[in-house]
Amino acid sequence: MTGSVSHRTPFSDWRTRETTEHLLRAIEAETRHLPAALKLMEVCGTHTMALHRSGLKPRLREAGIELISGPGCPVCITPDYYHEAVIDLLTTRNDIIVCTFGDLTRVPTRKGSLQTVVPQPGSRLKIVYSPEEAVQEARSQPDKQVIFFGAGFETTIPGITFTVKTATELNLKNYSLLTAFWLIPPALKAIIESGELAINGFIYPGHVSVIIGEKPYAFIAEKYHLPGAISGFEPADILLGVLSVVRQIRSGKPLVANEYQRVVKPQGNPQALALMEKYLSKTPADWRGLGIIPDSGLKLKPDYSAFDALKKFSLKLKPGQAGKTACRCGEVLKGLIDPGNCPLFGRQCRPDSPQGPCMVSYEGACLIEYKFSGAKDHD
Amino acid sequence: MTKISLELGSGGRLMRDFISGKVVPLFKNPILSELHDAAHLPGGLALTTDSYTVDPLFFPGGDIGSLCINGTVNDLVVSGARPAYLTLSLIIEEGFELEQLEKILQSIKRTARKNSVEIVTGDTKVVPQGQGGKIYINTAGVGRLLGRPQPRKIKPGDKILVTGEIGEHGLAIMLSRNNFPLVSGVKSDCAPLLFLLPLWTQGALWMRDITRGGLATVLAELAQTISYPLLVEEDKIPYSTRLQGAVEILGIDPLYLACEGRALIVAPARKAELILKRLRSNPRGRKAAIIGEVQTKTGQPGETLLKTSTGGLRLLEPLTSELLPRIC
C-alpha cells in the first residue's frame, strides 16, 4: 500500500461486465432446468430504473426471467386528491408555503399540477430536497404557514416524521405535515391475495428494507410460499437477488434472503422504527390502482394533531373522484400490464405531457419505459 | 399546450418541436433551415445570438457575464467560425444592485478579452420590479468562417469524441441553486472552446457544444441529423469522480446535465486519433475521449444506443423534462 487515496469510480465493483456476465450465467444455469420463464416482481421503482439504465432487462429475459414492475413508486401510488387538496390551499389562501419533493410537483390532476397552478399572492410552492429544509423555511417565515407535503414509503417516512420532533423542540406553530405515508408489506399482501397476477417471487426493495429489516416480509414465504430476496440497486445487487430467488424456487424452500447485507440489517433500523412507532399509527390507505388496503398507511397520532395539516386546515381528501381518462397507471402499478399496453403511452402521454403519475416520477414504470426503451411517437 | 411552460425552454423535444413547427416555417429561408448554432451568411461570415438567464447569477466557476460571452463564442466555434465581434444587450430589473451589475460587466470584459472578441454595440433596458429575474443578457456574435459542419459526409465508422468531462456546469448550478452542502469543489465548466478552431482544418466533420439537455440530447440530435445510428460506450465517457459521487446521491443521470465548455465532435476514423491528441495537448481538452462510433449494424437510423458498463444496451432519448432530484 502506498497510502495514497484511490480515485475509484463509485460502485465500480458492482457494475463491471465480468461480474454481470458471471451472475447472468449462474442464473441461466438454474433456469435451464425450469419448464417456463419465471415472473418476478421488482417491487421498487429504483430497481425498475436500475434495470433499464444498465440495459439488464433484455439480458434477464434471455436468461429466462421476466421482471414485472411493482407499486414501489410513492409519487405514482399517491392518489390525485392529495394533490388537489394542496392545490386548493395554495389557490385559496395567501399565507401558505407548500414544501415538497420535486417529482410530486408535476403530477397532473383535474385541477392542474402543483407546478402549473398559480398560487394566491403570498402563497407559494417550494421544492425541497430534505424535509429539514421545510422546517427551516417555517423558522425563517414566521408569518406564513409552512406545510410539508410528504409522500413516501418506509424509506422516507422516518426522515419526514423527524421534522415533527424538530418542530416541537423549536416550538414552531406554523409548521405541519400533509402525510401520504405508505407501507410496502401490506401492499404486497394485497397484490398476492388479489390473485390477478401469477408471480413466482419478489425482489424486495433495498431502501425500504434498510428501515424495516427482513421480518416484515416473512409472511410471504411462510403463508404464501413465495420466495424473495432483498436487493441493492447496482446491477450485481439485482442479479444476486434474482439468483437467490431462482435458487429458492428450484430448492422449493422459499425464504426472505438478504442480498443487501452491506446495508440492510436483519432487524432494520431500530431508531427509525421507534420514531415511527412514537409519532405514527396505522391506518387504511388508498393506493392508486390497488384501492384501499387495511393498515397499509401511517398517519400522525392524535397527540401530534397540531402538526397534522389535514386537521389544521380541515382538508378534505375526496377519494373516488378521479377524472375518467384512458390512463391505465393503476394496472401498470399492479403489474397487470406493461406501459406499452396503455392506449395513451407514447401518444398523448409522454414525459412532457404526462397523463398519469407513472409518466411523471423518475421511478414511474411508464417514464422509465419511455426513456430507456425507445418509445416512439405514435402520432 | 395552450400556455408556455418552463419545459419549453429546457432544450428538449418540446423546444425542438416549437422551433421546427412554429418558428422556422414562418421565416422560411435557406440559411435558417440549416438550423446550425450559427447562421452561415454570404461572404464567409457566421452570425449567432443567444439570451442568457441563470439562477444563481454567480455560481462556482462562473457567472452570467462569463456565460453570455463564452456561450456565444462557442456557438460560433462549433459552426466553423472564428468569433470577432459581439453585441451586448442588458435587460435589468428595477432595484438590481449596481455593485452586482458592475461585477457582471467586469466579468464580461475579462471573458471577452480572453476570447479576443470586441463588444461593438449594445442596448440597456430596465423593467419594473417584479417583471424580470434580476438581469437577462442577450449577446449576438459574428465571426469569419474557417470551416463548415458537414453532417452529410458523416458515415459509418466515423468516431464520436467529447472534449472533456461532462456535466459539471449543470451540477454546479443545481448544487448552488439549492444550497446543497453535499459535495464541495464542483465548478462550472464554463469556458471558451476557441482551441477547437484548428480542428476544422484537421478533419472534424461536425461539432456541437454540449449545453442544455446534456450529452444525451446532443447525441440524439446528431443521430436525427444523419441517416445512421450512433453507439457510445458508457465506460468511455469522461466524468469527474466528484460528479459521479454527487449524481449517485441526487439520482440524476449525468448524461443529461448541461455543460458550458464542452463539445461533441465527429471525425473520420483515420483522423480521430490525431484530433484526440490535439485535444489532449490543450489544458481544456486533457480529458477528451473517443466515446463511440457511427454505426450501420447496431440500431436503427436516428437512434443513439449506449453500451452500458454492464454490457447492456440502452436507448438514449433527448431530454424531455427538466432535471429534478428524485424523491428517494
Q: What percent of chain A is modeled with pLDDT above 70?
A: 94
Between B37 and B100, the higher pLDDT residue: B100
> Is A14 inside any structural domain?
no
User: Mean pLDDT over all residues of chain A?
Assistant: 89
Using a CB-CB distance cutoff of 8 angstroms, which residues of chain A are in contact with residue B315?
372-374
B253: cell is: 443521470
Identify the bridge partners of residue B208 per DSSP, sorted by sequence position.
Answer: B264
- For chain A, the domain total comes to 1
Specify whether the CB–CB gap between A114 and A192 falls below 8 A.
no
A123-179, pLDDT tens digit by residue?
Answer: 999 988 889 999 999 999 999 999 999 999 999 999 999 999 999 999 999 999 999
Using a CB-CB distance cutoff of 8 angstroms, which residues of chain B are in contact with residue A57?
312
- Average pLDDT of span A71-84: 90
Between B327 and A37, the higher pLDDT residue: A37
Please report the pLDDT score of residue A376 as a whole number. Answer: 43
B163-186, pLDDT tens digit by residue?
Answer: 999 999 999 998 888 777 666 688
> Is B327 inside any structural domain?
no
The pLDDT of residue A2 is above 50 = no
Split at pLDDT 50, 70, 90, the class of A210 is very high
> Is A19 inside any structural domain?
no
**Is the Cβ of B227 closer than 8 Å to some Cβ of chain A?**
no
Please report the pLDDT score of residue A360 as a whole number. Answer: 81
A9-36, pLDDT tens digit by residue?
Answer: 566 677 788 899 999 999 999 999 899 9
B158 and B49 fall within a common domain: no
Domain that includes residue A313, residue range = 36-373
Specify whether the CB–CB gap between A276 and A164 falls below 8 A.
no
Please report the pLDDT score of residue B251 as a whole number. Answer: 78
Task: Please tell me which of the candidates A15, A101, A153 has its beta carbon nearest to residue B309.
Answer: A15
The pLDDT of residue B1 is above 90 = no
The pLDDT of residue B246 is above 90 = no
Please report the pLDDT score of residue B10 as a whole number. Answer: 65
Please report the pLDDT score of residue A338 as a whole number. Answer: 87
| Å between A207 CA and nearest CA of chain B | 8
Give the CB-side neighbour count of residue A188, counting CA atoms within 13 A: 29
Q: How many A-B residue pairs are in contact by the CB < 8 A criterion?
A: 105
B251-306, pLDDT tens digit by residue?
Answer: 788 999 999 999 999 999 999 999 999 999 999 999 999 999 999 877 788 899 99
> Is A24 inside any structural domain?
no
ipTM above 0.90, yes or no: no
Domain that includes residue B87, residue range = 36-145
> Is B199 inside any structural domain?
yes
Task: For residue B282, give the CATH number of its domain.
Answer: 3.90.650.10
B104 and B201 fall within a common domain: no
Tell if the CB–CB gap between B313 and A58 is shorter than 8 Å: yes
Q: Which helix (H) or strand (E) holds B31?
A: helix B30-33
B133 and B163 fall within a common domain: no
Task: For residue B135, give the CATH number of its domain.
Answer: 3.30.1330.10
Residues 110-129 of A with CB under 8 A from B: 115-116, 127, 129
d(CA B255, CA B278): 25
Burial status of residue B313 (CB atoms within 10 A of its CB: 0-12, 13-18, 19 or more): middle
| Residue after which a domain boundary falls, among B145, B160, B177 | B145
Residue the block writes with cell 476557441? B194
**Is the Cβ of B309 closer than 8 Å to some Cβ of chain A?**
yes
The pLDDT of residue B85 is above 70 = yes
| Residue after which a domain boundary falls, among B125, B145, B165 | B145
Give buried/exposed letters for B175-212 (b at 16+ CB in 10 A, else e). bbebebeebeebebbbbbbbbbbebbeebbbbbbbbbb
Using a CB-CB distance cutoff of 8 angstroms, which residues of chain B are in contact with residue A127?
324
| Å between A318 CA and nearest CA of chain B | 24
Residues 123-182 of B with CB under 8 A from A: 178, 180
B165 and B108 fall within a common domain: no
> Is A4 inside any structural domain?
no
Please report the pLDDT score of residue B2 as a whole number. Answer: 66
Tell if the CB–CB gap between B321 and A16 is shorter than 8 Å: no
- Ranges of H-type helices in chain A: 17-31, 45-53, 56-62, 74-77, 80-92, 131-140, 157-169, 184-194, 206-212, 218-222, 235-251, 270-279, 309-312, 329-333, 365-373
Using a CB-CB distance cutoff of 8 angstroms, which residues of chain B are in contact with residue A102?
324-327
Give buried/exposed letters for A83-105 (b at 16+ CB in 10 A, else e). bbbbbebbeeeeebbbbbbbbbb
> Is A124 inside any structural domain?
yes
**Is the Cβ of A101 closer than 8 Å to some Cβ of chain B?**
yes
Please report the pLDDT score of residue A205 as a whole number. Answer: 96
**Is the Cβ of A16 closer than 8 Å to some Cβ of chain B?**
yes
> Is A368 inside any structural domain?
yes
Burial status of residue A139 (CB atoms within 10 A of its CB: 0-12, 13-18, 19 or more): middle
- Average pLDDT of span B199-209: 96
**Is the Cβ of A17 closer than 8 Å to some Cβ of chain B?**
yes
- β-sheet with B206-209: strand ranges across: B206-209, B263-267, B159-162, B289-294, B230-233, B304-307, B313-315
**Is the Cβ of A10 closer than 8 Å to some Cβ of chain B?**
yes
**Is the Cβ of B325 closer than 8 Å to some Cβ of chain A?**
yes
Give the CB-side neighbour count of residue B76, counting CA atoms within 13 A: 31
B272 and B239 fall within a common domain: yes
**Is the Cβ of A108 closer than 8 Å to some Cβ of chain B?**
no
> Is A16 inside any structural domain?
no
Please report the pLDDT score of residue B326 as a whole number. Answer: 56
> Is B328 inside any structural domain?
no
DSSP per-residue codes, B119-160: EEEEEEEEE-TTSSSSEEEEEEEEEEES----GGG--TT-EE
B160 and B112 fall within a common domain: no
Residue the block writes with cell 421507534? A274
> Is A23 inside any structural domain?
no
Task: Please tell me which of the candidates B248, B315, B326 has its beta carbon nearest to residue A103.
Answer: B326
The least confident of A82-86, A330-334, B75-79, B147-151 is A330-334
| Residue after which a domain boundary falls, among B106, B128, B145 | B145
Pick from B45, B36, B42, B38: nearest CA to B76: B38
**Is the Cβ of A78 closer than 8 Å to some Cβ of chain B?**
no
B140 and B163 fall within a common domain: no
Amino acid found at A235: P
Q: Is the peptide bond before B229 cis (omega within 30 degrees of 0)?
A: no
| Å between B73 CA and nearest CA of chain A | 31
Between A324 and A46, the higher pLDDT residue: A46
How many Cβ atoms from other residues are within 10 Å of residue A271's Cβ? 11
Task: Please tell me which of the candidates A52, A151, A352 has its beta carbon nearest to residue B320.
Answer: A352
The pLDDT of residue B134 is above 90 = yes
B218 and B96 fall within a common domain: no
Give the CA distances from residue A208 to residues A41, A150, A158, A182, B247, in Å, rounded to whole numbers and listed in that order. 15, 16, 11, 11, 21
* Paired sense of beta strands A256-258 and A65-72, if any: unpaired
Please report the pLDDT score of residue A319 as a whole number. Answer: 67
- For chain B, the domain total comes to 2
The pLDDT of residue A303 is above 60 = yes
Would the CA dihedral through A103, A106, A109, A112 be positive or negative?
A: positive
Please report the pLDDT score of residue B12 as a whole number. Answer: 67
B155 and B141 fall within a common domain: no
User: Mean pLDDT over all residues of chain B?
Assistant: 91
- Which residues, in sequence order, are CB contacts of B288 under 8 Å at separation 6+? B161, B162, B163, B164, B238, B276, B279, B280
B203: cell is: 478533419
Using a CB-CB distance cutoff of 8 angstroms, which residues of chain A are in contact with residue B245?
10
| Å between B226 CA and nearest CA of chain A | 18
- Average pLDDT of span B119-148: 95
Using a CB-CB distance cutoff of 8 angstroms, which residues of chain A are in contact with residue B324?
102-103, 105, 127, 362
Using a CB-CB distance cutoff of 8 angstroms, which residues of chain B are in contact with residue A373?
315
**Is the Cβ of A232 closer than 8 Å to some Cβ of chain B?**
no
Task: For residue A236, give the CATH number of its domain.
Answer: 3.40.50.11740
The least confident of A200-214, B15-29, B107-121 is B15-29
B117 and B221 fall within a common domain: no
d(CA A249, CA A255): 10
Pick from B99, B7, B3, B70: nearest CA to B259: B70
> Is B4 inside any structural domain?
no
> Is B158 inside any structural domain?
yes
d(CA A157, CA A206): 15
Task: Please tell me which of the candidates B241, B307, B321 has its beta carbon nearest to residue A7.
Answer: B241
